[in-house]
Amino acid sequence: MSFIPQYTTIERIEASLQMPIDATTRPNSTEVLDMIQEVEAEMDSQLLYRYHYVSGYVDVEPVTGLNRNTIEWLEFISTYGYSPATGRVVIPNLLPIYSIDVSGCHTRTTGLGVSGTWEVRQEGFANDFLVLKKQTKDGQELGFALYFFQNVPAAGVQRVRLSYYYGWNINRSVLRQYATTKTIIEILKAKMGASEPAGLTQFRGGDFQTFVGSNYRERIELLEAKCKSLEDKYFPDRTSIALGVI
């Protein structure tokens, strides 16, 4: 199955570059599509958009301590307005949480070794659990854990089953700019490596006469600065990406 870009297109890249891209250009359209795929795969590996996770199982850790600002401490002291002190914090496998599907949370009421009996749990103050959230640097409220205060799941392996959206949910227009710019950088690097005269503005004489790709290099530096600006303004830091922490 051929790759279908999610964030940018060859036509958008052509418009930004003011250069045609087809089967005869260097790089050609197939090679540029490969570049787009690599760029978008790297973006998705950082969970920059939002992604659907269906029927994922979550282990529920036992409460073992009362050190301040730990999950265990939160479970005992958090009343969250309407919740009793006997709640439990459950951290899903993939973070941050964007939204829980309607009827997307179930807890298992039977133990291991028998057929699983799953019951629907509802989000909300008047229901079973709340999504604990923090604000990201671009102003979004994204979740980092579930806090159960009714029908609290028992500790154990695969006690909760979730269907939900996760990821940093960065605005699609920002991701479009980023993917387009990153791909253009790769195209210009390829052209510079091929020493195409169209992008070479300086000529050096001597025994071995060479062109120097200063024009491409300057454009690449400007585009890299644009990517850095988008990263600084909208993207989570690398630690957050690696740990799934907001």
C-alpha torsion sign, points 137, 142, 143, 144: negative
pLDDT digits (tens, 9 = 90+) for 155-170: 888 899 999 999 999 9
- pLDDT, averaged across the chain: 83
Confidence band, pLDDT 50/70/90 cuts, at residue 76: low
Query: Rounded CA gap, 129 and 144, in Å?
Result: 13
Q: Is the pLDDT of residue 195 over 90?
A: no
pLDDT at 201 over 90: no
pLDDT at 217: 87
Q: Is 183 helix (H, G, I), strand (E, B) or coil?
A: helix
Rounded to whole angstroms, the Cα distance separating 197 from 82 reads: 70
Does the pLDDT at position 241 exceed 80? no
Look at residues 214, 159, 168 and name the one whose alpha carbon lies nearest to residue 191: 214
| DSSP H or E segment with residue 214 | helix 214-234
Per-residue pLDDT band for 68 (boundaries 50, 70, 90) equals: low
Rg from Cα positions in the chain: 25
CA distance 72 to 61: 9
Output the furthest CA–CA distance in the chain (Å, rounded): 83
Q: Which region, left, alpha or beta, applies to residue 18 given φ > 0 means left and ψ of -120 to 50 means alpha?
A: left
- Main-chain phi, psi angles of 153, to 5 degrees: -70, 145
Sketch the domain layout of the chain as residue ranges.
10-47+171-243, 51-166
Q: Counting Cβ atoms within 10 Å, is residue 73 exposed (0-12), middle (13-18) or buried (19+)? A: middle
The per-residue pLDDT for 111 is 77
- Token pair 């600002």 is found at 69
Q: Is the pLDDT of residue 220 over 60?
A: yes
Q: What is the pLDDT of residues 81-104, one digit of tens each?
A: 333 446 788 999 899 999 999 899
Positions of E strands within the chain = 51-60, 88-90, 97-108, 118-121, 129-135, 141-148, 156-166, 202-204, 210-212
Residue 211 — left, alpha, or beta (φ > 0 → left; ψ -120 to 50 → alpha)? beta
pTM of the entire structure?
0.78
With left for phi above 0 and alpha for psi between -120 and 50, is residue 170 left, alpha or beta?
A: beta
Comparing 105-109, 115-119, 202-206, the range with the smallest average pLDDT is 202-206
